[in-house]
Amino acid sequence: MNGLRLIAGVLEATRDVHTPRALARAIASALAPHVSFRRLELHAIDAIVELDHGEWRTIDAAREATATLLAPGLAVVLTGSLPAAIATSELRDVLGGIVDTATRHLEVVQRVATLSRRAHAASRELRADLERLEPRTEVIARSSAMRDALSRAQLVAMHPTTVLITGESGTGKEVLAREIHRRSPRAHRPMLHLNCGALPDTLIESELFGHERGAFTGADRAHAGLFESAHRGTLFLDEVGELSPAAQAKLLRVLQERQLRRVGGTAQIDVDVRLIAATNRSLSAMVANGTFRDDLYYRLDVFAIRVPALRDRRGDLAPLANAIAGELAAKLGIAVPPMTRATLSKLDAHPWPGNVRELMNVLETALILGGGRSFELPEQLARPAAPTTGPHFESAVRAAIERSLRATSGKIYGRDGAAAQLGLKPGTLQSKMRKLGIDRRSFVAPR
């Protein structure tokens, strides 16, 4: 009976090991309750473990001449006598067969791992060659403002640096995040996405960091969060300014320690994730009024990219409209009708407060109204643009300030500063910037 328990224990212990050292430690742990020994040697893979303060540790050493051959390829240095039930040749043969099978399985796993690493390396080289021969991107950047944003994205893509993408709602921050991931060494790994404003506070932490079974009502099984699922890949957190104070604290800890603890759990889990955060709010203003942690803000704002509003990238409007129309027509199962000059002129006259997202909605409506034969623009675009008052006036003021800051690389004071360009006192300009949530640092050119 003792011998059967030993065999069962070794079988169970060697089932899921993937390295020589792990295999030697697993066999030693399974044998220890039945055989008194201080050292185990696996000859086929040259792995040796010794007992050190109650734990089996691998060592680099020569074989011992006093080792007892317990089974073919398996020797132990005994500290007591070998139990009679285990000393039988039949049991040793069975044990030797298990060890031999585990060793051959290990060799196969290691060969597969080596081939996988080579395949990933070859894939990265091939993608780099293709990129050099035919650069491609889903980001349309004809305007200088968007070219600047794309250039910064391409510059940071090859590094694991945390990126903060800012810009108004609907400008395409997620598209730029996907471009960063696509050009990064992590492109073969997943890029996961969470809209932090779409979930209640009670679910955000579980979604990000996971939870253990029984952590809260309804948690009937353990759940791996997005950080675990995106291990060695990229995690995109949209509307990061919507995170609760508790979630902010946990996110800061993960960024600092590269470890997380599931909700309701005690174990620390290592994670390697490239984080890209996005917001349409001014995080610096939120820090000033105490609604966002300053230490988390500085962890996120390592490399900032501002995506311009659609009204500030008019040179992109026509190619954007054509590209979006093609995608929408494919979705609707119709041919793409011609985009006439009259249609483009009406599109160009609109202020686009909803940015690219509004353009997508307008074009989908126009395709449906036109029956697939033409673009029938909705009534509000068919009319001349309304005078810039109310919200549109605020949008125009924001656009004017941002243009001046971009032209002066964020400089406010002096004859060549943004305040002088706008005919405002520097203090008045700064007051308007605070009210509109405009961060001067987003326009400072990198050194």
pLDDT for 42: 92
Question: What pLDDT, on a 0 to 100 scale, did the predictor assign at position 129?
Answer: 61
Q: For residue 234, give the amino acid letter.
A: T
For the stretch 149-187, pLDDT in tens is 999 999 999 999 999 999 998 999 999 999 999 999 999
251: closest CA among 157, 162, 160, 158? 162
Please report, for residues 160, 206, 324, the alpha-carbon distance to residue 127 in angstroms, rounded to integers and kept in the order given: 18, 35, 26
pLDDT for the residue numbered 392: 57
Rounded-to-integer distance, Cα 380 and Cα 144, Å:
29
Identify the pLDDT of residue 400: 80
Query: What is the pLDDT at residue 387?
Result: 44
| Confidence at residue 156, expressed as pLDDT on a 0 to 100 scale | 96
Cα separation of 62 and 64, whole Å? 6
Query: Would you state the pLDDT for residue 408?
Result: 85
pLDDT mean over 386-402? 65
Nearest to 275 by CA among 299, 246, 294: 299
Question: pLDDT (tens digit, 9 = 90+) per residue, 304-317?
Answer: 999 999 999 988 99
Is the model's pLDDT at 386 over the cut of 60?
no
How many whole angstroms separate alpha carbon 267 and alpha carbon 277? 26
Distance CA 434, CA 440 (A): 10
pLDDT at 74 over 50: yes
Across the range 406-420, mean pLDDT stands at: 83
Q: What is the DSSP letter of 189?
A: S
**393 confidence band (pLDDT: 50, 70, 90):** low
Percent share of the chain, pLDDT over 70: 93
Q: How confident is the model at residue 391 (pLDDT cuts 50, 70, 90)?
A: low
pLDDT confidence tier of residue 278, bands split at 50, 70 and 90: very high
Q: What is the pLDDT of residues 227-274, one digit of tens each?
A: 999 999 999 999 999 898 988 999 999 999 999 888 888 888 999 999
The residue with greater pLDDT, 419 or 243, is: 243
